[in-house]
Structure 1
Amino acid sequence: MNYRPSENRYSKPDLYRRCGRSGVKLSRLSLGLWQNFGDTRDFESQRALVLGAFDRGITHFDLANNYGPPPGTAESNFGRMLSTDLASHRDELIISSKAGYHMWDGPYGDWGSRKYLISSLDQSLSRLGLEYVDIFYHHRPDPDTPLEETMGALDHIVRSGKALYVGISNYKAEQAKEAIALLRELGTPCLIHQPRYNMFDRWVEDGLLDLLAENGVGCIPFCPLAQGLLTDRYLKEIPSDSRIATGSPFLKSDAITDERIAILKQLNEVAAARGQSLAQLALIWILRNPAVTSALIGASKLSQVEDNLKALESAELCAEELAKIESILASE
C-alpha cells in the first residue's frame, strides 16, 4: 500500500520554531529514534509511528550511529522507510545523526577523532541510503582528542557535502563556548546543541542556555520527560513493563523515591488544573525558554506522540504557575 501523507500536516504553522539565527525551522517537538527503532521491535509498528508523526507535522527525525538495539539498526530501519514511504518527501525532512560513543572495536570506533567521525558518518549514510544528513552532531566531548581536530572534522563534513549543518551534544557551557568559536572561525557555524534537560536535570540553566542564545545556536533537549518519570506512569506504582521494572540501564530503581513521587503528584496537580497531563506540562515547561528550539521526544506508540503534541495547544505557563512549579521542584 502506497503511503500518502496527510494534506493537513502543515496546517499549524505555529508548530515550527526557528533554530537560533539560522534559516532552519524545526518542529517544536522532534521524534528521537533512540531505543524503540531497532531490530527488537516490529518494523510495521515503527513505520506507523514515524509516518503518523510526519502526518501530524513533525519533520525532524533524530538518529545516531549507535541507536537500535543493536547499534546501527535504527538507521537501517529508518532507511527502509526513506527508500519507500518517504522517498518523495526527503526535502520536507530534517534528518540528523551523530557519532561520539562506542560503535566498533579497536582504537578508531569511539570518541572524537577525525578518523572516527568521518568513517562513522559514511557508515550512517550507507545505512540510511542517503547522500547527506541535514544535521550531524559530535555526540559527546572527547577529553583526549584536541577540540580543533573534532571541530575541523565537522567543518570538513559540511564542505564535503555529507551534512548541511553540524551540532554538538552533551557539551558543558565552557566546552560549548570553545567549540562554537572554533566552528565560527572555520566558517561552518554550529547550528544546534543537544543537551539532556528536564525538570529534574537543569544543569543547562547554569550558563549554557544563555551562551546558546547569545551565539544564535539552537537548543534541542533530549529526555524532556526524564525517561518517563515525568508522565503518569509512576504516580501510583512501578508498572511491570516500565524501564525501571525491566532493569533498563537508563532508568534505575533509585530514581523513584517517596520524596520524588510526592513531587510528581504535586506537579500532576498543576497539570490537571491546566487541563493537561503531567507529560504535557513537562514539555510546555521545557519550551517556555525561547532559547529552546525543539524538545526531542521518544515514543513507542503513536498515541504518545499525539498526547505530547497536545501540549502545544495549551496556553503558555503564567508567572504564577511557573512560581508554583519552582516551589515544588525546590524540594527535589
Structure 2
Amino acid sequence: MHINDHNPLLPYVPAADRYDQMKYRFCGKSGLQLPEISLGLWHNFGHNADLTLGRKILRRAFDLGICHFDLANNYGPPFGSAEENFGRILQKDFLPYRDELLISSKAGWDMWPGPYGNFGSKKYLIASCDQSLKRMGLDYVDIFYHHRPDPTTPLEETMGALAQLHRQGKALYVGVSQYSAEDTTRAYQILKEMGVPMLIHQPRYSMMDRWVENGLLDVLGEKGIGSIAFSPLEQGLLTDKYLKGIPADSRAAKDGRYLKAEQIAPEKLAKIEALNQIAHQRGQSLAQMAIAWLLKDPRITSVLIGVSKPEQLDDNVAAVKNSNFTASELSAIESILKA
C-alpha cells in the first residue's frame, strides 16, 4: 500500500512505478492508449457515499496505473453528485497530474425535468457537457459519450452535438454507448463526414451478456473503433461473492435496482461455481478470469470496473497478468455458459 493512503492530510504523491503495474492498449485506430483496466464511478461516489473512502479508491487506482476515470452526468445519487465529488478529489489530489489522466463523461439518461433533460437532442447534450465540466472543475473532458441510443432524435443531430463539443475543445474525443451494430455504423459515418473520428464504444459486455458478439464487435474491428466493456462482472455475479448466499453488505442485498436477489437462481449459481473452479485452475479468482476473458479479444481496449474498497482494485488489476486462454479452457467455459 502506498504511504499516502494512510494519511489524507498529506499531499498525495503517486507511486513512482505506477505505469509498470498496468498494460495499455491503443484505442482503435487512434494514438490514444487506455489502461486495460479503467475505473468507473457509477457507484460509491454519490453524496450517500464515504468521500474519504472514494478518495482512497482513486489514489490506489492511480498508484496501480489506472489513469482512466469514467463518469456520467447522472451518476450519484443524486444526479450530478459523483462528478461533484470527483471534482473535489481532483482539486485536492490530482490537479498536478491532470495531463496524465483520461477523464470521461456522458449524457443520454434522465437528468433534469422537462423535455430537454434526457435522451439525445443537441440542446440536452451541449448543456449537459457544460454542466459536467462545471461540476468537475475542468476545461474539457478527454472523452464525451452519448450514453444510449435515442429512437426519436435524428442521429445527425446527436452526432452533430458531439462534433460541436469536439470542435469547441470541450471533448478531445467522442464516443457512444450501447448503440447497436447498425446504429454504430451510421453514427461513425455521420461523424466521419463531419471530420470527427468516433474513438470508442462503451457496451455492456460480460461472459453472461454477449449481445456485442452479434455484429457489434465486428463493426468496431472493421472501423477501427475502440471499446470499453462495462459491467464485466455482471453486477457482482461473476465473483465468488454469492456462492455461499447473499452477503448483507452486497449490492443484491442493499440495492435491488441493478441486481435483484431473485436473479441469483440455483442454476445460475451452479454455473458460477463451475466457472469458479476453472478460474482456480488458472490461478485466478473468478473476477480476475471474467476480466481476463474480455481482454483476450484485441477489439476490447479496456474493461471498466467499479469497486467499493481499494483492495478490490489490486485483485482486479492482477487479471491483466494472464489474459491468455487455452482452447480447452475456452471450450469448457462455453459449455458451462450454454448449459
Letter in 1 for 2:81: T
- Partner in structure 1 of residue 125 of structure 2: 117
Please point out which of 291, 302, 315 is paired with 1:294: 302
Please point out which of 248, 253, 259 is paired with 2:261: 253
- Partner in structure 2 of residue 10 of structure 1: 19
Does residue 1:202 correspond to 2:210, yes or no?
A: yes
CA distance in 2, matches of 1:123, 1:303: 32
Written as runs of structure 1 = structure 2, the 5 A alignment for 1:92-131 is 92-131=100-139
Letter in 1 for 2:15: S
**Stretches of structure 2 lacking an aligned partner (at least 5 in a row):** 1-9
- Partner in structure 1 of residue 167 of structure 2: 159
Runs of 4+ residues over 3 Å off in structure 1: none
- Partner in structure 1 of residue 5 of structure 2: none
Query: Offset of 1:246 from its aligned partner?
Result: 2.3
Q: Is 2:293–2:323's contact at 8 Å kept on the other side of the alignment?
A: no
CA distance in 2, matches of 1:91, 1:205: 34
Query: Offset of 1:247 from its aligned partner?
Result: 4.1
Please point out which of 67, 71, 84 is paired with 2:79: 71
Does residue 1:217 correspond to 2:225, yes or no?
A: yes
How large is the Cα RMSD of the aligned pairs?
0.9
Please point out which of 276, 291, 294 is paired with 1:268: 276
- Partner in structure 1 of residue 4 of structure 2: none
Paired positions, count: 330
Does residue 1:327 correspond to 2:335, yes or no?
A: yes
Letter in 2 for 1:306: D
Percentage identity across paired residues of the two chains: 58
- Secondary structure of 1:168's counterpart equals strand
Query: Offset of 1:114 from its aligned partner?
Result: 0.3
- Secondary structure of 2:199's counterpart equals strand
Q: State the TM-score, normalized to the length of structure 1.
A: 0.98
CA distance in 2, matches of 1:84, 1:140: 32
Query: Offset of 1:248 from its aligned partner?
Result: 1.9
Please point out which of 241, 244, 248 is paired with 2:252: 244
CA distance in 1, matches of 2:68, 2:136: 15
CA distance in 1, matches of 2:337, 2:162: 38
Query: Offset of 1:253 from its aligned partner?
Result: 2.3
Letter in 2 for 1:40: N
- Partner in structure 2 of residue 142 of structure 1: 150
Written as runs of structure 1 = structure 2, the 5 A alignment for 1:78-89 is 78-89=86-97
Q: State the TM-score, normalized to the length of structure 2.
A: 0.96
- Partner in structure 1 of residue 35 of structure 2: 27
Distance 1:174 1:4, change over 3 A: same
Does residue 1:50 correspond to 2:76, yes or no?
A: no
CA distance in 2, matches of 1:141, 1:254: 29
Query: Offset of 1:84 from its aligned partner?
Result: 2.1
CA distance in 1, matches of 2:313, 2:254: 23
- Secondary structure of 2:238's counterpart equals coil
Query: Offset of 1:42 from its aligned partner?
Result: 1.2
Please point out which of 234, 237, 252 is paired with 1:229: 237
How far does the alpha carbon of each residue in 1:18-68 deviate from its partner, in whole angstroms, 9 at most, with x for none? 100100000000000001101111111100100110011001000000001
- Secondary structure of 1:134's counterpart equals strand
**Stretches of structure 1 lacking an aligned partner (at least 5 in a row):** none
CA distance in 2, matches of 1:93, 1:101: 25
